[in-house]
Structure 1
Amino acid sequence: MVMTTVFTILVVISALLRVEAQQDGCRCKRTMKGREHLHPTRNSLPVLSLDETQELEQLPKHLDWCERGFCVPSWNQHIPQYCGSCFAHGAMSSAQDRIKIANKRQNYTGADVMLGRQSFLNCAPGHGLSSGCDGGEASDVYEFMLRYGLPDESCLPYNATDHTKFHATNGTCPPHGYCMNCMYTPESRTAPVCFPVTKMVRYRAKSYGHLSGELAMMKELMKGGPITCGIACSYEFNYEYKAGILEDKTGFLDLDHDVEVVGWGEEDGVKYWHVRNSWGTYWGMNGFFKIVRGTNNLGIETDCAYMEPDISKEELVWEEKEVYGGSIFGIVPFKETAKEHPILDTSADITRPENDVLGHELPLLESDATRRRKEDGISTVLATMFFASGCGFAALVAVVALKVRGHRYVYRAIA
């Protein structure tokens, strides 16, 4: 009898977890904070006026920032494990391409800047910006860059994890979670040690904003460079697209992914957007795809974001006029003129020491609330079923098991 009850519990739990996994799917959990009214399932895009239609017709038929040589290498958000960070990849891809454009305009021809994805996923959720691998939106990235700035990826390699691994600091970001190094040091000559790097070049956003519609997208692409847009991942997009111009015929508009739009063009009379995905270069056309333009296909013209990069800190270490140099411990003044351009901020404004217990809980984010509702629902179903059958102990075991499985640390917010 006991074995039968235990077996029944395991079967039911397994079935319910499979249902939960199917509901979640393998999609990026993007959000639309304060812009729900723009969602394509609620409202269609506004019709262009006559003047706007004429302006659209006068724009170039083709523009592509990759063809101009301003697209840095592509990424894969799901290596070495699944992480719902499409919003971060789309936003940073656009930002670092815009940094390359800004550097070119300043006649700086240094190496491409690849922004610190892991630094963001480790630290931003502690400031209420995104849920890390549980999703977010482009404005979370740009707001973080506006407030604090991001280092490049040489600070930390991407490992598809987020703030939830920092148990000692209740989910907030310790100093080594933003930037670190591992080296032999004068104090440790016999064995290498790892230590936080607190001063580095940070790339910031001067400003950022949202836009929608074909005309606004094209004008912003011309003005500043690639932009980030939400898109609805249909079955065809996920599993059947190989190359060419994608055109969804189902009307699917459930925005659940973010991508980088790098340009537009026409082929055989068909207008298209040229777009970069974040699923590796083996997907699509070397990591890119084309989708019909002007019809809001898969909702790609509904919710887009852009940013204006601030490269002023990078200018201080340019070879042509360097003011700062570098060391294994971070950047340091190189010339007397550094006094005129002080870099005062350290990672202390972003991180907290591991022994610093903070007093405010993170706000309950949408993804957390959804997950908790599912867990509570599963627990209720199991408890009701087993209590109804007269097996109170089995019901208690089932509820406790699910609660333990679904337990997440109570993370604290950095004030």
Structure 2
Amino acid sequence: MKIIPVLVSFVLVITATRSHRMHPLSDEFIDFINSNQTLWRAGRNFHRHTPLKYLKRLAGTIKVNATFDDGLEDEPPVHKYKLKNIPFQFDARQKWRNCPTIRDIRDQGSCGSCWAVSAVSAMSDRICIRTQGRKKVYFSEFDIMSCCMTCGGSCETGGVLEKAWQYAVKDGVVSGGKYNSHEGCKPYTIPPCDHNIHHHGNKTPCGHYIPQIVCECKCQKGYKTRYRRDKIRMATYYKLTDEKKIMTEIYENGPMTASFELHEDFFSYKSGVYRHVAGKVEGYHSVKLIGWGEERGVTYWLAANSWNTDWGDNGFFKIIRGVNHLGIEDKMYAGLFRRESKSSLIHLISN
């Protein structure tokens, strides 16, 4: 009778060992994922010859308590509110249809900027929601990446998600735009990544050379508003760790950010509710949460990734909820803008 658990353990060890020997972008690895679970489906999101160092770079979130300590201030105060009845299923794209940034999928390109991209994406949603659609701003991830001196480092080293929110409160963030955009003060300067290496449009092969990022307190040429006048500051930011409070927060105030341990199988996610199956850990990744639900009896978070729309489910994905899978519910961050008034308090200009 004791032989059975021993054999099961032996099979699990062999299975895990086999998965680690596979190339994370190979057909063999994708088939392995699909044959060992039924919660989600894996498929090809990246060309099989995409450099592995590029994939590792995508995990650009630095965990403060593990590798980065520059005198980070005390944790922001937990946002206090009364829990309300929340729906069984929720999608922010449906509730706030007049806020197009909620449906937008950004592309961090060949850069470990997920921490900044996810943060400003949620900020863009929240200012629109806070003003009932009157204020639509595509906030600049590049402004935080280049000018937040305590946030972290370059595209190679990544940055701290919490610090991005802190920067938005202390210094404010200017408007931005997608690659080569002429609409905002500081558009993103890292080109989108061509996952299929067809070299079409304005995309470049994944893993290409990344330019050095330098802070310049000025807007792009031709933009009519000065850098300091373009800044918009948040009133407060805070953390949440309780599942019900997180759901209430999203339902009341809009999308927020989360980070989790990134494994190799996530690169191949296509549909369903993601749960780690196989592959090595590559670091930590930050995303934007926009809702929740249940699929085939499994509860999930609905999230927007930052690897363009040719990854996953048109850029979105679901991940198992309520069990702190891969640490995703350890700390989720959000913030609020001041409400608009006749004196337009939404703009706080730095002198």
Q: TM-score, normalised by structure 2?
A: 0.63
Distance 1:227 1:208, change over 3 A: same
1:181-239 Cα distance to aligned partner (Å, 9 max, x none): 338xxxxxxxxxxx99344332212111222242232132223211100022222111x
Q: Does 1:141 align with 2:146?
A: no
Asked whether 1:109 is paired with 2:134, we answer yes
**Equivalent residue, structure 1, for 2:264:** 235
Question: Per-residue CA shift, 1:97-120, capped at 9, x if unaligned?
Answer: 11111010xxx535x311012222
AA in 2 matched with 1:147: K
Counterpart amino acid of residue 144 in structure 2: F
- 1:298-334 Cα offsets, whole Å, 9 max, x none, are 322222111112465997499xxxxxxxxxxxxxxxx
Alpha-carbon contact 1:30-1:257 (below 8 Å) kept: yes
* Cα distance change, pair 22–97 in 1 and its aligned pair in 2 (3 A): closer
Shift, 1:61, TM fit: 0.8
Is the partner of 1:75 in helix, strand or coil?
A: coil
2:222 aligns to what? 182
Aligned residue runs from structure 1 range 333-352, under 5 A: 345-346=350-351
**Does structure 2 retain, via aligned residues, the 8 Å contact 1:123–1:163?**
no
Secondary structure (helix, strand or coil) at the match of 2:148 reads helix
Of residues 59, 68, 80, the one that matches 1:28 is 59
Counterpart position of 2:151: 129
**Letter in structure 2 aligned against 1:197:** R
Whether the 8 Å CA contact 2:61–2:285 is kept in 1: the answer is: yes
1:78-135 per-position Cα deviation (integer Å, ceiling 9, x unaligned): 1xxx11100001111111111111010xxx535x31101222222112xx22224221
Match of 2:108 among 65, 77, 98: 77
Rounded Cα–Cα distance in structure 2 between residues aligned with 1:253 and 1:263: 26
2:296 pairs with 1:268: yes
The structure, 1 or 2, with the larger RCO (C-alpha pairs under 8 Å, 6+ apart) is 2
For residues 226 and 116 of structure 1, do their structure 2 counterparts lie closer, same or farther at Cα, with a shift above 3 Å needed? same
Which protein has the bigger helix share?
A: 1
- TM-score, normalised on structure 1? 0.54
Alignment partner, residue 185 of structure 2:
155
Per-residue Cα deviation, 1:30-88 (whole angstroms, up to 9, x for no partner)? 2232589xxxxxxxxxxxxxxxxxx89x642112111222451221001xxx1110000
Q: What is the rounded CA distance, in whole Å, between the counterparts of 2:227 and 2:123 in structure 1?
A: 23
Report the Cα offset of residue 263 of structure 1: 0.4
Amino acid at match of 2:350: D
Structure 2 counterpart of 1:187:
none
1:62 aligns with 2:67: no
Instruction: Rate the CA distance shift 1:93–1:254 in 2: closer, same or farther, 3 A.
Output: same
Q: Does the CA contact (< 8 Å) of 1:232 and 1:252 recur in 2?
A: no
- Contact 1:252 1:298 (C-alpha < 8 Å) held by counterparts: no
Corresponding position of 2:329? 301
Matched, 1:207 2:236: yes
Task: Look up the SS of the partner of 1:25 in the other structure.
Answer: helix
SS of the equivalent of 2:222 reads strand
Cα distance, 1:250 vs structure 2: 5.1
Contact 1:232 1:255 in 2 (8 A): yes
**2:317 aligned residue:** 289
Q: CA 1:174 to 1:250, structure 2 compared with 1: closer, same or farther past 3 Å? A: closer
Q: Distance in 2 between matches of 1:237 and 1:174?
A: 35
Structure 1 residue matching 2:123: 3-state secondary structure: helix
Misfit runs of 4+, over 6 Å: 251-254
Separation (CA, whole Å) in 2 of partners of 1:198 and 1:74: 25
Residue 273 of structure 1 contacts residue 293 of structure 1 at CA under 8 Å; is this kept in 2? yes
Q: Output the CA distance in 2 between the equivalents of 1:251 and 1:221.
A: 31
